[in-house]
Chains A and B, each alone.
Chain A
Amino acid sequence: MNDQIKISCSNIWKLYGENPEKFLKENNNNPSTEQLKSNKYIPAVRDASIDVKTGEILVIMGLSGSGKSTLLRCMSKLIQPTDGQVFFEGKDLLKASDKELIEIRRHKMGMVFQHFALLPHRTVLQNVAFPLEVQGIEPIKREDRAKEVIKLVGLEGREKYYPRELSGGQQQRVGLARSLAVEPDVWFLDEPFSALDPLIRKEMQNEFLRLQNMLKKTIVFITHDFDEAIRLADRIAIMYEGLIVQVGTPEELITKPATDYVAEFTKDIPRSKLLNAESVMNNEDKKLYDNTVNCKEKIEKIASKVLKSEGSYSVIDENKKVIGSLSKKEIIKALFAEDKNE
């Protein structure tokens, strides 16, 4: 189940300029940066291929203008890509009719927006019930469902409020509730917490993780905040100037950055919080020492005891099998990472 592919994008291009389809064809579907520049095309997404697996949290991360939001909008076909293919549960989205798209969006997709995008003339309840209303579900039923979701995001008692009466964090809770009202399979979140101040952001991230633990949706999450990305992600895709530079787990990005750009990003991340015993251990040494640590333990937790002790620690997996060892040397290497990369 876990490795089933929910959304599959291949070779997505999105160019802005005059007649981009023709230009793309003339250049064998792969124009270079120079060609794009000299012909005055603005590439939002370039040749992006990525799969979203069922039940995972995929974070697409990049600075502003890197094309992450455009890629997300291509996935939901809010934007028509210039070229490429998008398969949603095996169905070709780009060939789907308007009617089919409406059906897919009504039942399978939910989206949360950076600036909340709540309808100002509707109460919290009416906003949350909106996706159900457009499906033509009868008032009593849709309000019951809306109340359920409002309770889920912790906004009970505010049903009759108007968006302008709520704080930013509360408004985004309404946004979350609205996107969840139809019980979608896929949950798109476009920088949902970027417009909130840091304390509220942390709180909302926890809220998000709590919801995901309950609901187990397939999630595509956009952010420009790397801390947020590593906190939430199963996998991270890093975009730079329209290209997907690297896709991998947070550990992979830190230990094996594909380019200098990725390395630059990951440089300031406190590694001890992110890396676990498995990713820094000595693979060759599989002896069983007196002390053992679990391979999934974060370095942060074990560093001090390893550094205090004289000998090595064995690293064991879930089946108590020794898969490597940790000594002071590895810990120090991991904590002062720049030396290790060079």
Chain B
Amino acid sequence: MNKIKTIFKGKFLFIFGPFFLLWLLRYIVPNYTISSKTPHWAYIPPKSCLGGCGSIDGFIPFVDWTNALIQFLRKYEIFGLFTFRDFTRGIANYVDKFLDFTEAVLHKGFPSYEIGPLPWIFIITLTVILGFYLRGWRLALLGGTCFAYLILFSKRGIWELSMKSLAAISVSAPLAALIGLCLGILAVKRKKFANFLWPMLNILQSLPHFSYLILVVIFVGIGTKAGVIATVIFAFPPMARLTILGLQNISQEIKEAGVMAGCTKWQMLFKVEIPAARSPIMLGINQVIMQCLAMIVIAAFIGQPGLGHDLLIRLQGLRLGEAFEIGVAVVLIAITLDRYSQALALKEPERREGNFVKRNPYLCATFFAIIICSILVFLFPFFNEYPKELTVSASVYLDNAIKSFTRSLFVPLGIFRDWMLIYFLMPLKAVFQSMPWTGVILFVGAIGWKLGKMRLALTVMLFVFFIASSGYWVRAMITLYMVFASLVICALIGIPLGIWASKKESRTKLVLNICDIFQTFPSFIYLLPAIMLFQISDVSAIFAIVIYSSIPMIRYTVFGLRNVPQQIIEASITSGCTERQLLWKVKMPLAFPEIILGANQTLMFALFMVMIAGFIGTVDLSQEIFRALSFSDGGKGLIIGLCVAFIGLTADRLLVEWSNQMKKKLGFIN
């Protein structure tokens, strides 16, 4: 009882007080009814206060301003020579040159020299050898299986589609990695640049893809090169981040050793710093590749051909069997590239002694493989082009299986869906929609203030104010409701699963491995089962979000629980704790800061997935973005994108700060 009293006296009242007061007032304020067309300004943000700007419904016309800027960039000629758009298109043409080459190698061939594309036998053999070199036979088997699947199931052209996608990736991934590396190095060497780069990376990484797809369309156009450029913009931030972290974490002594050896600045960079940070940098490359794969489907929206494009068309046509086949291809490629690049990141140089062949076994193997494959291709056309009649397709069976599966589950799934909608989602949506924007600003401000940071409070209040003033408040609250609902479900699934998994080493390994595999799936794949099970509704969107974003919740819970210091656990056991007491009185409180971080990550994942779920027709911000995309309305796309980014950043700032303060209290960090 006492405890409740103190809570009400202290933080609780301070944080929630003004918020609830405003919320309740809503029903007391005279002249206000829910159905009223002109709600009170304190609850629903008013429209167009500045007047005259007209077209957009925000009371600050950000969208108009942004569109004006875009127009300016399109039309204004720098030095009277070329416009910004000419400049970006010029860059895109250079990208196109590289693209021509990779496309020729992988699927078009060089018609002018009468050379065909690289035969499939080469690709499989070289992948297998690379797998052996990087880690061993398991990796080689994975790589071989992946490409074998692609060639075997290419009745509907999966092989060609994959090669198209891989051609795009093999331009965008190196480009993104290079840009990220350079920016990262620059940020480490120039403090001022770092101060500028960090917030940019934060915003870039929390902007939904679709909002800059529109800008890419405006400034570059559509097609493969536009897709590549969009992919590069999306994929370079993690590389820059990991480069910065890697370079900053080099031990001081190693740098001093470099200086004392008399290195010049460039020698330091290339001979000491970059090699010493090679693991994080390689992990950055792994991240870049994964981001590029995630973009396979998204870039299809602006006309990049390949696996993504066909997957999208089949999803739209609800041809789920075929979509499933392509989905498996995307997943296999994703897992293969992920494991290969991870192996590359963790690869330690090996000591080999003896003659040339013994020292360079893989180089020799590659050499012989190329000779043998060349002979095979020359003698048998089978090895040059895999005959169509030997390909298979399971899509018909899959379609039937999916149909009978959903048919048999139609009734229970329907009941579940309706139950969720009526008793959980709809009421929650109503609650979120009735939240007054002024109250929300006060709420986040109060939390920021309570965490002891004036600056933090002001920043998050500004973020929320931006959303309210931009004219998309109502839509943003729908987005927030979906994210929140998913977060609750993710916590209900993820935390117990994490607790279960942390109990035994073998379970932890199993669960983390499954998480790993799930995380490599490109996000669009999750829409497949969602549509299969729940058709088009909020439930299917939330289902997709939940599968995708439970992963960090589980991961962080396991991590937090397993990282409780062994000494403390032993001390508790010798104090006579039961298993249950150990969990709730010792482990959970100590793991709580990590679990909060997990919730934060889950929220970010959910926000990302909500945007993709807009594809199956939710009515939140994502729908507006899709609309902006089809009208090429760059300003609108960008402003809505910023709204989404600011939702994410607000939550991120507050949760991370909270977790850090708890960790400090527990003495985990200084």
Q: Give A contacts to B, CB under 8 Å.
A: 73, 76, 78, 102-103, 105-107, 109-111, 113-123, 130-131, 133-135, 160-162, 164-165, 178-179, 188
In the complex, chain B residues 256-305 whose Cβ is within 8 Å of any chain A Cβ: 256-257, 259-264, 267, 271-272, 275-276, 278
B320-362 Cβ-contact flags toward A at 8 Å (1 or 0): 0000000000000000000000000000110101000000000
Q: Give B contacts to A, CB under 8 Å.
A: 251, 253-254, 256-257, 259-264, 267, 271-272, 275-276, 278, 348-349, 351, 353
A118 to B261, CA, bound (A): 12
Residues of chain A contacted by B259 (CB below 8 angstroms): 78, 105
Q: How far is the CB of B278 from chain A (nearest CB, A)?
A: 6
Residues of chain A contacted by B253 (CB below 8 angstroms): 113-117
Residue of B nearest to A188 (CB): B260
Residues of chain A contacted by B276 (CB below 8 angstroms): 119-121
> Which of A106, A122, A165 sits near B262, CB closer than 8 Å?
A106
A133 to B253, CA, bound (A): 19
Are the CB atoms of B348 and A162 closer together than 8 Å?
A: yes
> Which of B251, B261, B262, B267 sits near A103, CB closer than 8 Å?
B262
A130 to B272, CA, bound (A): 10
Known: A160-B353, A161-B351. A119 touches B254 (CB 8 A): yes
Known: A117-B253, A119-B254, A164-B348. A109 touches B353 (CB 8 A): no
Are the CB atoms of B275 and A162 closer together than 8 Å?
A: no
A160 to B352, CA, bound (A): 8
> Which of B254, B256, B351 sits near A160, CB closer than 8 Å?
B351
Residues of chain B contacted by A119 (CB below 8 angstroms): 254, 257, 272, 275-276
Are the CB atoms of A134 and B278 closer together than 8 Å?
A: no
Are the CB atoms of A117 and B262 closer together than 8 Å?
A: no
- 21 A-B pairs within 8 Å (CB atoms) are namely A78-B259, A78-B260, A102-B262, A106-B262, A109-B260, A111-B260, A113-B257, A114-B253, A117-B253, A118-B257, A119-B254, A119-B257, A119-B272, A121-B275, A121-B276, A121-B349, A123-B351, A131-B261, A131-B262, A134-B261, A162-B349
Residue of B nearest to A122 (CB): B275
A167 to B256, CA, bound (A): 22
Residues of chain B contacted by A135 (CB below 8 angstroms): 262
Residue of B nearest to A106 (CB): B262
Residues of chain A contacted by B353 (CB below 8 angstroms): 160
- Interface SS of chain B: helix
Q: How far is the CB of A99 from chain B (nearest CB, A)?
A: 9
> Which of B256, B275, B349, B351 sits near A117, CB closer than 8 Å?
B256
Are the CB atoms of B251 and A115 closer together than 8 Å?
A: yes
A161 to B351, CA, bound (A): 6
Residue of B nearest to A108 (CB): B262
Chain B CB within 10 Å, residue with most, of A78, A106, A117, A160: A117
Q: How far is the CB of B354 from chain A (nearest CB, A)?
A: 11
Residue of B nearest to A123 (CB): B351
Are the CB atoms of A76 and B260 closer together than 8 Å?
A: yes
Q: How far is the CB of B258 from chain A (nearest CB, A)?
A: 8
Are the CB atoms of B262 and A111 closer together than 8 Å?
A: no
> Which of A102, A111, A118, A120 sits near B256, CB closer than 8 Å?
A111
Known: A115-B253, A121-B275, A121-B278. A110 touches B260 (CB 8 A): yes
Residue of A nearest to B256 (CB): A78
Are the CB atoms of A162 and B262 closer together than 8 Å?
A: no
Residues of chain B contacted by A161 (CB below 8 angstroms): 351
Are the CB atoms of B267 and A134 closer together than 8 Å?
A: yes
List 13 additional contacts besides A110-B260, A135-B262; criterion CB under 8 Å.
A78-B260, A102-B263, A102-B264, A105-B260, A109-B260, A113-B256, A117-B253, A117-B256, A119-B257, A123-B349, A131-B261, A134-B261, A134-B263
Are the CB atoms of A111 and B278 closer together than 8 Å?
A: no
Residues of chain A contacted by B348 (CB below 8 angstroms): 162, 164
Residue of A nearest to B261 (CB): A131
Q: How far is the CB of A309 from chain B (nearest CB, A)?
A: 54
Residues of chain B contacted by A105 (CB below 8 angstroms): 259-262
Known: A117-B251, A120-B276, A160-B353. A106 touches B261 (CB 8 A): yes
Residue of B nearest to A184 (CB): B260
Are the CB atoms of B261 and A117 closer together than 8 Å?
A: no
A113 to B256, CA, bound (A): 9
Q: How far is the CB of B138 from chain A (nearest CB, A)?
A: 23
Q: How far is the CB of A80 from chain B (nearest CB, A)?
A: 12
A133 to B257, CA, bound (A): 14
Chain A CB within 10 Å, residue with most, of B251, B257, B259: B257
A119 to B351, CA, bound (A): 15
A114 to B251, CA, bound (A): 12
Residues of chain A contacted by B262 (CB below 8 angstroms): 102-103, 105-107, 131, 134-135
Q: How far is the CB of B253 from chain A (nearest CB, A)?
A: 4
Residue of A nearest to B351 (CB): A160
Residues of chain A contacted by B260 (CB below 8 angstroms): 76, 78, 105, 109-111, 179, 188
Q: How far is the CB of A231 from chain B (nearest CB, A)?
A: 24
Q: How far is the CB of B273 from chain A (nearest CB, A)?
A: 10
A6 to B275, CA, bound (A): 35
A106 to B264, CA, bound (A): 10
A119 to B262, CA, bound (A): 15
Residue of B nearest to A175 (CB): B257
A153 to B267, CA, bound (A): 27
A188 to B257, CA, bound (A): 11
A103 to B264, CA, bound (A): 10
Top-8 shortest CB links A-B: A106-B262, A117-B253, A131-B261, A117-B257, A105-B262, A111-B260, A113-B253, A121-B275
A150 to B665, CA, bound (A): 50
Residue of B nearest to A77 (CB): B259
Known: A106-B261, A106-B262, A130-B261. A162 touches B351 (CB 8 A): yes
Residue of A nearest to B260 (CB): A111
Residues of chain B contacted by A73 (CB below 8 angstroms): 256
Residue of A nearest to B359 (CB): A160
Residues of chain B contacted by A123 (CB below 8 angstroms): 349, 351
Known: A105-B260, A105-B262, A160-B351. A117 touches B254 (CB 8 A): yes
Q: How far is the CB of B268 from chain A (nearest CB, A)?
A: 9
